[in-house]
Amino acid sequence: MDMRQRIAGLAKEMLSAAFPEAQGLPEDLAGFLEVPPDPAMGDYAFPCFRLSKALRMGPPMIAKKLSEALEKPEIARVECVGGYLNFFFNRENFAREMLEAVMAAPEKWGSSEEGRGKTVCMDYSSINIAKRFHIGHLSTTVIGNSLKRIYDFQGWHTVSINHLGDWGTQFGKMICAYKKWGDRETVEKGGVDEMTRLYVRFNNEAAEHPELEDEGRAWFKKIEEGDPEALEIFNWFKNVTLKDAMRVYDILGVHFDSYAGESFYADKTGRVVEMLEEKGLLKDSDGAKIVDLEAYDMPPCLILKSDGATLYHTRDLAAAIYRKETYHFDQCLYIVAYQQDLHFKQLFKVLELMGYDWVQEQMKHVSFGMVSYEGQALSTRKGVMIYLDDLLRKAQEKALEIIREKSPNLENKEEVARQVGVGAVVYSTLQNSRIKDIDFHWDRALNFDGETGPYVQYTFARCCSVLRKAPEISAAPDYAALTDDEAQALLRLLSRFPEAVAEACQKNEPFMVTRATTEIAKAYNKYYYEHRILDDDPAATAARLKLTDAARQVIKTGLYLIGLEAPERM
Ligand code: ARG
């Protein structure tokens, strides 16, 4: 039940009743409707300004004429204010229709068929092999995860891709270092940290013995040529890194349909180079091959180094074409920090020059702000770094402490601490619009008060608790019990939840779901404090329980869509 559409339909009927002769009126009125800043001004406002020309009449006059043409059970009254026609719902009717609509398929409230038959590829998280998973990769991971859930909910077929950074000479150097100074057991035990140590040692020693660089390059060449020993070590490095990453993904509830990373495209770049050559797009530049993008005010896109090695761009070109040919996507999203804005502009431009006409419409760089740590840019070398496993562990510890204090009798404390701790971290990442830079502060990420993940989760648990305590009621709900301001405010937010999800999907902005869900939680709490839910009147109680149940379900959906779990007891 979409109230916006309903009111738009009414407005249309009113228009033709009041102005039967009028010509050239807009077809779609839903987009016209505004939500008044204060509910005292109505549930929806219809601005008459844009009709002024077609009707040759001042907006206040139009509003007045329209208001005379209405009589509908779902509308209690309309008011003309300035050039606006403000609609006030019939509150009892609205409560009934809304709750019946939500409860008819509670888990689907907010879903749609918008994406039915369409495929979206989403490239996110895309971590680098032999590096520890740090907060620099937190945003891409949780934004991507949330978008996948949102697109799924809007009916799309989604393909989530972890485009691993697993190609480049550094892996040759790492193997070289491992062969000289490492051993299997230490790497198995030390994991990514041990690989980093080997790599750092390689670079230090190579500063004094430059011939090491050649050895490192030779090992990379062996990987490229498929030498069994080189490949074995390389794949093992990958597995060790992925094992660490998987732990984080499991905690976050993140899944990928594909882990095809840069190495996967290594043998698919030849064709790209040939195509570029055929189209006359390749240029020599000091022995290297480039695509000149000067005409588009961009630096050249590097395709081959002078030794013939491919680059990040080359592999991304191959990946884009592969994805199109394999998944036939309608949208291809890259969820990567704005640091790489230029990289993607160049990538899309080169694809366009190659003659792919789907690029402009379908390829999108979904960029987001950078993470710093207490005002400083992240840097492993300078020790300005927070690792994701540390962060999640601390969050869980803090949650556990609070739970022990506040809910000593809770049975599954550890489990709930995990859900809540992770919830705090994920929520704080999805609280603002993507493009805002995030300065990471421990206190903020681990904040459990005010507008936070735990606050919303707690509200969900509160709804569950109210429903658990409720008696069996056979009376039909009396919706007249839900005509107060607090119930109506909550109902309005529930009715607009589907719009928020749809908009979040269109704009690739998960925070719109965060916001809508938080507003619902706040409205429920306000309702809860100001009204008795269980009282002597069973029909009124039944209505309030139904409202509680609807809020519970929509909060759960909202939490799920941003990647949070919903514990029933906290
Ligand atoms: N591995 C890269 C990084 O950590 C991100 C890769 C993004 N995806 C892509 N297709 N380029 O910066």
- Give 302-350 pLDDT, tens digit per residue: 999 998 899 999 999 999 999 999 999 999 999 999 999 999 999 999 9
CA of 127 to the centre of ligand 1 (A): 7
What pLDDT is attached to residue 219?
95
Confidence check: pLDDT of 168 > 80: yes
What pLDDT is attached to residue 54?
87
Confidence check: pLDDT of 167 > 80: yes
Tell me phi and psi for residue 444, to 5 degrees: -70, -45
What pLDDT is attached to residue 74?
83
Q: Which atom belonging to ligand 1 lies closest to the Cα atom of 334?
A: 8
Amino acid letter for position 294: E
Residue 405: band (very low, low, confident or very high) from pLDDT cuts 50, 70, 90: very high
Amino acid letter for position 432: N
What are the structural domains of the chain?
Answer: 3-89 (3.30.1360.70), 168-260 (no CATH), 389-561 (1.10.730.10)
Separation CA 260–CA 162 (nearest Å): 7
Separation CA 363–CA 332 (nearest Å): 5
- Please work out whether the CB of residue 128 comes within 6 Å of at least one atom of ligand 1: yes
Residue 379: band (very low, low, confident or very high) from pLDDT cuts 50, 70, 90: confident
CA of 335 to the centre of ligand 1 (A): 9
- For the chain, what percent of residues have pLDDT higher than 70? 100
Residue nearest atom 5 in ligand 1 by C-alpha distance: 126
Start-end of H helices in 19-119 = 52-55, 59-68, 91-104
pLDDT tens profile 84-133: 999 999 999 999 999 999 999 999 999 999 999 999 999 999 999 999 89
Residue 140: band (very low, low, confident or very high) from pLDDT cuts 50, 70, 90: very high
Quick check: 59 and 82 in contact, CB under 8 A?
A: yes
C-alpha to C-alpha distances, 207 to 3, 199, 524, nearest whole angstrom: 69, 13, 63
CA of 292 to the centre of ligand 1 (A): 23
Q: Please give the average per-residue pLDDT across 203-224, as a whole number.
A: 94
Geometric angle at alpha carbon 266, from 158 and 221, rounded to 5°: 150
Radius of gyration for the chain, computed over Cα atoms and rounded to the nearest angstrom: 29
Separation CA 213–CA 211 (nearest Å): 5
Q: Which of 328, 332, 334, 318 is nearest to 360 (CA)?
A: 332
Q: Which atom belonging to ligand 1 lies closest to the Cα atom of 136?
A: 4
Confidence check: pLDDT of 414 > 90: yes
Quick check: 89 and 10 in contact, CB under 8 A?
A: no
Tell me phi and psi for residue 83, to 5 degrees: -95, 20
Mean pLDDT of the chain: 94
- Please work out whether the CB of residue 392 comes within 6 Å of at least one atom of ligand 1: no
- Please work out whether the CB of residue 344 comes within 6 Å of at least one atom of ligand 1: no
Element (H, E) at 419: helix 413-429
pLDDT tens profile 276-294: 999 999 999 999 999 999 9
Quick check: 457 and 570 in contact, CB under 8 A?
A: yes
Q: Please give the average per-residue pLDDT across 497-519, as a whole number.
A: 98
In this structure, what is the dihedral angle of CA atoms 166, 169, 171, 176, given to the nearest 10 degrees?
Answer: 170
- Please work out whether the CB of residue 126 comes within 6 Å of at least one atom of ligand 1: yes
Confidence check: pLDDT of 142 > 90: yes
Confidence check: pLDDT of 21 > 90: no
Confidence check: pLDDT of 165 > 80: yes
Q: Which of 63, 51, 50, 42 is nearest to 22 (CA)?
A: 51
Q: Whole-prediction pTM value?
A: 0.94
Q: Which two tokens stand for residue 207?
A: 């500063």
Confidence check: pLDDT of 481 > 80: yes
More confident residue, 63 or 357: 357
Handedness of CA 532, 101, 461, 520 (dihedral sign): negative
Tell me phi and psi for residue 431, to 5 degrees: -85, -30
Confidence check: pLDDT of 205 > 90: yes
Enter the DSSP assignment of 20. Answer: T
What pLDDT is attached to residue 528?
98
- N residues, the chain: 570
Separation CA 348–CA 320 (nearest Å): 9
